[in-house]
Chain A
């Protein structure tokens, strides 16, 4: 197997995630797109770990998964709070700090 096939797959997933973050209006879907990007990074880490025969890739992918869990917990708490205060989670309506 070529190393590049995994890296290309991760690049495509990362760019789809970037598109989702930029184009989505619903805050939950923006968080889902961020998960896509984190997964692309994990595929890269694991692929490099397999290529170098080094366990560090897997260990760091585990750390990234932990951070992703923490990020989703805090992010969804913020989304629920925004919904409770403004009755909408459309991100372009959350413009309280707009100058």
Chain B
């Protein structure tokens, strides 16, 4: 349990630092690459909670596909490679105030609700996920696949040059 807490602390520190760099760095490509660090850290947290399948999906879909999409978006919009001082707008302090207020509210509520609640993860096998997804959650699964198809067709229709 101590080792798990140490690993959690290291991962959480790295994730928060990288997330902070995602929203503050003045370089678009670096921001996307810092996002990779956050996503990989989240995957490691899933592994720490003994949920293996979601870790694999996180690596394949997020780090493999979504980050590549972001890099393509960066390239297609001809973002300046290198420093760009105009990546932030002028409501930075208001935004910081809003998010700090939200953080305060969330931490107060969570402390109130889940103080001293312990997690004892048991390994959740991939076969359990499959049985659940193709059993009770079959209809949401089919709906999500139709939604994904619609989103892909929509993306092609929007971005097509005609």
Which residues on A are within 8 Å of B, measured CB to CB? 1-9, 11-20, 22-29, 31-33, 35-36, 39, 42-43, 46-47, 49-51, 53, 55-59, 61-63, 65-74, 76-81, 83-84, 89-92
The answer to whether residues A46 and B51 also contact, given A39-B38, A76-B73 and a CB cut-off of 8 A, is yes
Chain B residues near A92: list those with CB within 8 A: 89
Do the beta carbons of A25 and B103 come within 8 Å of each other? no
A62 to B144 CA separation, bound complex (whole angstroms): 10
Chain A residues near B76: list those with CB within 8 A: 80, 83
19 A-B residue pairings within 8 Å (CB atoms): A3-B119, A5-B5, A12-B16, A12-B103, A19-B99, A22-B94, A29-B87, A32-B22, A43-B46, A50-B50, A50-B121, A51-B119, A59-B129, A65-B54, A69-B61, A77-B154, A77-B155, A80-B76, A84-B161
Chain B residues near A5: list those with CB within 8 A: 5, 8, 12
Count of B interface residues, CB-CB < 8 Å = 87
Determine the main DSSP class of A at the interface with B.
helix
Do the beta carbons of B51 and A65 come within 8 Å of each other? no
